[in-house]
Homo-oligomer: A and B are copies of this chain.
Amino acid sequence: MPAKTPKRSSTLALPATRTTIADVAREAGVSKATVSRFLNHRETLLTTDIATRVEVAIAALAYSPSPMAQALKRGRSRLIGLVVADVSNPFSVAVLRGAEKACQEAGYLLMLFNLGNDSRRESEAIKALTAYQVEGLILNTLGRDAGAAADAARHGKPVVLVDRRHSDMQADFVSLDNVGAVRLGASHLVEAGYRELLFVSEPIRDVSSRLEREAAFRSFISESATHTDSTPGLQGRTFEATEEDTEGLDNALRSLRQRAGKRRPGVITSNAVVTLRVVAAMARLGWRFGADLGLVGFDETEWSPYVGPGLSTIAQPTDELGRLAAGCLIERLKGLDLPPRQILLSGRLVPRGSSVPTP
């Protein structure tokens, strides 16, 4: 049992109070106003003599202005708020990474709020962040609490939505081109010879990206039905896979294969989480990817090449998305005044063994 140290004195008892602009002024023998001017309006109004005196004083005291005080005075905090539905989601991490990088480069710091998949707390998050005078918000959330984001925007703070739209919100929107991506995956499966398709998604609820992807799949199927000559016998359905109901997924896959008959069955998964669920189901069923079931999944991951014969994926330009989100925001902060933009980036197909019908 370690003895309790009676009194912890820091190695070098620095004054608890930080050095302020007043210290610099005193050191340089000028007024606070002059120091402030040197800091903010260096280009104009300054005697070189005084300028250098201030400069050395600043260096000598290792002074740096307090962002808090600056924020209080100017109203601008050089802070950007990021609300994330779930940091465990690899996609969110990518957004986080890109956004944080762009922020750093532009001299902003990121304040993070993770919803932990509890979307009801979205407005709480936005409230907390706006209280800290964040200059703008990046939202990667389910978007079910429309009011929350809306009143952030109403406060005049620019907002960028990533991946998931909020119902009728006036804000920039950065996302994958879901329609194109679904077509990419589905047509790849078709070209590889799979004819009975199943789109497996997380519970749609009202999440825009899930809605879009599912709708895109349905229309792909119905369009193909009209051009029956090019893809004879193509059929498709959809299924929502939850985390708990593994049996439901197993059954869905079994009946998929049954429906397929002597046609080949194929699955498109709507994100990496769902892909993993299907992988688990395949293990339970003892089926082989490619031969027994074709698969293309949204989201390229580090492990995609090494599961089964390699999983075919639709890679999202995640870094780009994150960077763009922050970039949009920073442009707005710099004064750009345009109507809300939509930036859609294309997905990229990464074909692997899971979509090769080896017999």
Contact = CB atoms under 8 A, between A and B. Distances in A.
Interface of A: 2, 4-5, 8, 10-12, 14, 16, 64-69, 71-72, 77, 79, 87-88, 93-94, 96-97, 100-101, 104, 109-114, 116, 127-129, 131-133, 153-156, 170, 276, 279-280, 283, 301-303, 305-308, 337-339
A66 B71 CA distance: 11
A112 B133 contact: no
A109 B109 contact: no
A142 B111 CA distance: 23
Most B CB within 10 A of own CB, among A2, A14, A109, A128 = A109
Nearest to A304: B303
A111 B114 contact: no
A72 B68 contact: yes
Kindly report how many copies of this chain are found in the complex they form together.
Answer: 2
A129 B100 CA distance: 14
A105 to B, nearest CB: 11
B109 A128 contact: yes
Nearest to A64: B131
A104 B77 CA distance: 21
B10 A156 contact: yes
A231 B177 CA distance: 58
Nearest to A337: B8
Contact of A154 (B10, B94, B116, B156): B10
A133 B100 contact: no
B4 A339 contact: yes
B112 A110 contact: yes
B97 A93 contact: no
Contacts of A127: 64
Contacts of A93: 87-88, 93
B153 A10 contact: yes
A100 B88 contact: no
A111 B113 contact: no
A196 to B, nearest CB: 24
A355 B154 CA distance: 58
Nearest to A18: B155
Given A10-B154, A153-B10, A133 B97 contact: no
Given A68-B133, A69-B72, A303-B303, A2 B339 contact: yes
A66 B338 CA distance: 30
A94 B88 CA distance: 7
Contact of A280 (B8, B68, B170, B306): B306
Contacts of A10: 153-154, 156
A332 to B, nearest CB: 11
A123 to B, nearest CB: 12
Given A87-B96, A307-B307, 15 more contacts: A8-B337, A10-B153, A10-B156, A67-B131, A68-B72, A68-B133, A87-B93, A87-B100, A88-B94, A104-B114, A109-B128, A109-B132, A283-B306, A303-B303, A306-B308
